[in-house]
Amino acid sequence: MIALADGNNFYCSCERVFNPTLEGVPVVVLSNNDGCVVARSEEAKALGFEMGTPEFQARELIETHGVRVFSSNYTLYGDMSRRMMELLTASAPATEIYSIDECFLDYTGMADPEEHARRTREQVRQWLGLPICIGIAATKTLAKAANKLAKHNGGVVMITADNTEEWLTKLPLDKLWGIGRAHDRRLRARGFRTAWDFHQADPAWVRKHMGVVGERMVRELQGIACLSLEEVQPDRQNVCCAKSFGTRLTELRDIEEALANYVNTSAGRVRARCCSSASAPLRLPNSSETGSQPMLDQRPAIRSYPHVRCLTFRPAPAALFVRPLHTGLPS
Ligand SMILES: [Mg+2]
Rg for the chain (alpha carbons), in Å?
23
Ligand 1 centre from 186 Cα, in Å?
27
**Ligand 1 centroid vs 93 CA: distance in angstroms?**
22
Backbone angles phi, psi at 277, to 5 degrees: -155, 165
**Closest C-alpha to 2, from 157, 153, 125, 135:** 135
Q: Separation of 47 CA from ligand 1 center, angstroms?
A: 19
HSE-up of 97 (CA within 13 Å, CB side)?
Answer: 17
Residues within 5 Å of ion ligand 1, judged at the Cβ atom: 6-7, 10, 101
Who's near 287: CB < 8 A, 6+ residues apart? 293, 294, 295
Q: Average pLDDT for residues 236-243, to the nearest whole number?
A: 65
CA 234 to ligand 1 center in whole angstroms: 22
Q: How confident is the model at residue 276 (pLDDT cuts 50, 70, 90)?
A: low
Encode pLDDT of 49-82 as tens digits.
999 989 889 899 999 999 999 999 988 999 999 9
> How far apart are the CA of 82 and the centre of ligand 1, in A?
14
Q: How far does the centroid of ligand 1 lie from the alpha carbon of residue 194, in Å?
A: 21
Q: Please give the single-letter amino acid code of residue 153.
A: N
For residue 289, how far is its CA from the centre of ligand 1 (angstroms)?
A: 36
Contact predicate 323/238, CB 8 Å: yes
Instruction: Tell me the backbone φ, ψ of residue 321, rounded to 5 degrees.
Output: -105, 125
> 120-178, pLDDT tens digit by residue?
999 999 999 999 999 999 999 999 999 999 999 999 999 999 999 999 999 999 999 98
Q: How confident is the model at residue 238 (pLDDT cuts 50, 70, 90)?
A: low
Distance (Å) from CA 144 to ligand 1 centroid: 11
